[in-house]
Structures are given as structure tokens and as C-alpha cells.
Amino acid sequence: MSSDTNKVKGVVLEALPNMHFRVKLDDGPEIGAHLAGKLRIHRIKVLPGDKVTVEVNDYDKTKGRIVYRG
């Protein structure tokens, strides 16, 4: 993890094509997020309603990467 990202928790609202998701963060906004490589490799299923941890970049707060489900 690089120093310009921070991890926030949220809930998956919608599954989009190509392993992209619409995520509602606990601190307010909705963002678009894609699935991290480790979750793809281990075939971790992410469905609407799942609680996830998202890495959000400090430079673009509208996009993120799902790094943990649960």
C-alpha cells in the first residue's frame, strides 16, 4: 500500500460489468470501485449488500479498489 491511499469501509450497492461495483462508503459518498488482483486470483465473490474495505486514492476520491470482503 502506498502512502497516498487510505482504507475506508462501505457496502456494495450494485454489481457492474467487468468486476466493477458501486459502493456506498460509511462516511457518505458513493464511489465506483474495482476488484483487487488478490480477490480476483482467489475468486472471492462480491455481491450487492456485502460489507467491503476499499482503498481510495487521495487524488481521486470518486474511484477505489476493493481489497477485503467481510
Q: Is the dihedral of CA 45, 37, 34, 52 positive or negative?
A: positive
43 to 14, 35, 67: CA distances (angstroms): 18, 10, 13
Q: What is the pLDDT along the chain (70 residues), one digit of tens a residue?
A: 557 889 999 999 999 999 999 999 999 999 999 999 999 999 999 999 999 999 999 999 999 999 999 9
Supply the pTM of this predicted model.
Answer: 0.90
pLDDT score for 5: 84
Which domains can be identified in the chain, with CATH numbers?
5-69 (2.40.50.140)
